[in-house]
């Protein structure tokens, strides 16, 4: 079976030779310096939609959904909508048989308005607003994940004495995992979930059991993001099953579901380690069966929530070079985007592997710093090598740009957010239009 860090054979043509493992599987190099994704030259996308622009390979997204379904045939796979959401993504997830993990009324309403079945949606959030809960109940969301004790009473009151809502409890298993401290969510010292070690999780579960309108279906945990090894997930299985065993002893409770969250790591640069999905599925399945057998419990249905690993490698960002500046020993290549369309490097130091496209470089590779256009010294996209003759007007493409770019984008310096174009079978179509200055001005209603 193809794992998520191995490029598959492209239905659109021969994969580009050699050095393009980070790019969508459909990427080809028709001639030196040119790249096409989904049969569409990236230069054509830039000409048609302008830059910056995100290019999303529909076939790559769908293939990654199918890989998850094949690796976890017995599990419920929920796409983590926070990674990137638009109506087309909702439609693709529905057709590929995935559920949705949403974090707000906005994400939920977009999904349901697009036709996604609300019973296949799970609502998360450490601080759900009244609107979040009202929308979830009005639309009939499948489960609400309880993240704090106060949420229990609020939700029960909103459901009402004659109502019914399935819930899960987000548990802090006390496991540190993830690519950066700001994206580690399984430890005790962060805002998410209820701790096992101090008894808050157990207390919350007891309170839920006293609310007849709330049906506790299982436990949930999320360890962090960009996890590249299987070991933390196995430790989480053991701790979560241990808690399930204690709940069975105390309350006679047998929970039918266990949600291990997502956080599956992908490669952003050559040499980065990615999580092996096939190994994860096999070892988690074995660990869960053994832990439940030891505890005398039936094996719960597993739920997983990949986001980045589904859409991240399917996306490419394309920029125009605006300026090249040499200061001392450094060369800065400034592009027409930056932290407004990709805040991840500024937030936690992520770096990418850009590539010159549209023409072959005629000079040897040289170390450069690719920076954005914004008024921050930390607006840095990449430390990499580009041809030494890179110049204003050139195009630069950045792979692995499908997750946490547009979804975290801003209008800093009143620069509008970029469009998203999908490519499939040699055709490109617009999914999300560029945010215009008129869009920005129209929100400013007072003097």
**Above 80 in pLDDT, residue 13?**
no
Over range 114-123, report the average pLDDT. 98
Q: Looking at per-residue confidence, does 342 or 178 come out higher?
A: 342
* 31 contact partners, CB below 8 Å, separation of at least 6: none
Distant-in-sequence contacts of 271-277, Cβ < 8 A, 24+ apart? 272/228, 273/228, 273/229, 274/4, 274/5, 274/228, 275/4, 275/5, 275/227, 275/228, 275/229, 275/230, 275/309, 276/3, 276/5, 276/230, 277/3, 277/4, 277/67, 277/68, 277/71, 277/309
- Is the CB of residue 215 less than 8 Å from the CB of residue 256? no
**Domain over 72-306 is classified CATH 3.20.20.10:** yes
pLDDT digit string, tens, across residues 385-430:
999 999 999 999 999 999 999 999 999 999 999 999 999 999 999 9
Catalytic site positions:
375
pLDDT for res 186: 41
Over range 226-249, report the average pLDDT. 94
**Above 70 in pLDDT, residue 1?**
no
Over range 281-287, report the average pLDDT. 97
pLDDT for res 190: 59
**Above 90 in pLDDT, residue 2?**
no
The percentage of the chain sitting over the pLDDT mark of 70, rounded to a whole number, equals 92
Task: Tell me the angle at which helices 231-251 and 277-295 cross, rounded to the nearest 10 degrees.
Answer: 30
pLDDT digit string, tens, across residues 161-205:
989 999 999 999 878 655 545 444 445 565 678 988 788 889 999
What CATH code is assigned to 36-56+312-442?
Answer: 2.40.37.10
pLDDT for res 409: 95
Strand-pairing partners, residue 324, are: 333
pTM, 2 dp: 0.92
pLDDT for res 73: 96
On average, the pLDDT of the chain sits at 91
In the three-class reduction of DSSP (H, G, I as helix; E, B as strand; rest coil), residue 67 is classed as: helix
Domain boundaries, the chain: 36-56+312-442, 72-306
pLDDT digit string, tens, across residues 301-336:
999 999 999 999 999 999 999 999 999 889 999 999
| 438 alpha-carbon distance from chain centroid | 30
pLDDT for res 181: 53
Q: Cα separation of 208 and 198, whole Å?
A: 18
């Amino acid at each position: 079976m193809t794992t998520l860090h191995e490029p598959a054979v492209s239905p659109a043509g021969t994969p580009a030779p050699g050095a393009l493992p980070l790019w969508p599987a459909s990427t080809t190099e028709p001639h030196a310096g040119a790249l096409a994704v989904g049969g569409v030259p990236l230069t054509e996308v830039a000409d048609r939609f302008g830059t910056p622009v995100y290019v999303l390979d529909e076939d790559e997204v769908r293939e990654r959904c199918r890989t998850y379904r094949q690796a976890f045939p017995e599990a419920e796979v929920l796409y983590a909508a926070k990674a990137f959401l638009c109506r087309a993504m909702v439609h693709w997830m529905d057709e590929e048989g995935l559920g949705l993990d949403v974090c707000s009324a906005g994400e939920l309403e977009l999904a349901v308005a697009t036709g996604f079945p609300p019973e296949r949606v799970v609502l998360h959030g450490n601080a759900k607003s009244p609107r979040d809960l009202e929308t979830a109940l009005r639309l009939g969301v499948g489960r609400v994940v309880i993240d704090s004790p106060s949420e229990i009473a609020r939700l029960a009151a909103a459901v009402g004495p004659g109502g019914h809502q399935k819930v899960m409890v987000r548990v802090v298993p006390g496991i540190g995992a993830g690519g950066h401290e700001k994206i580690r969510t399984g430890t005790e010292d962060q805002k998410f979930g209820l701790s096992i070690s101090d008894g808050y999780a157990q207390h919350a579960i007891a309170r839920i059991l006293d609310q007849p309108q709330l049906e506790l279906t299982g436990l949930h945990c999320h360890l962090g993001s960009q996890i590249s090894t299987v070991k933390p997930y196995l430790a989480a299985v053991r701790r979560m099953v241990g808690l399930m065993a204690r709940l069975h002893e105390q309350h006679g409770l047998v929970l039918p579901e266990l949600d291990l969250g997502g956080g599956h790591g992908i490669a952003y640069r050559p040499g980065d380690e990615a999580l092996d999905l096939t190994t994860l599925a096999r070892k988690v399945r074995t660990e869960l069966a053994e832990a439940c057998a030891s505890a005398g419990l039936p094996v719960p249905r597993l739920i997983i929530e990949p986001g980045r690993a589904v859409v991240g490698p399917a996306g490419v960002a394309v920029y125009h070079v605006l300026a090249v500046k040499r200061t001392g020993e450094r060369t800065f290549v400034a592009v027409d985007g930056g932290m407004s369309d990709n805040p991840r490097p500024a937030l936690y130091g992520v770096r990418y592997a850009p590539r010159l496209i549209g023409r072959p470089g005629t000079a040897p590779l040289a170390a450069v710093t690719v920076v954005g256009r914004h008024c921050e010294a930390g607006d840095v996209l990449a430390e990499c090598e580009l041809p030494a003759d890179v110049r204003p007007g050139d195009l630069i493409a950045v792979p692995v740009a499908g997750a946490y770019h547009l979804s975290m984008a801003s209008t800093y310096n009143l620069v509008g957010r970029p469009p998203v174009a999908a490519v499939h079978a040699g055709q490109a179509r617009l999914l999300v239009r560029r945010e215009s200055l008129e869009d920005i001005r129209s929100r400013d209603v007072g003097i």
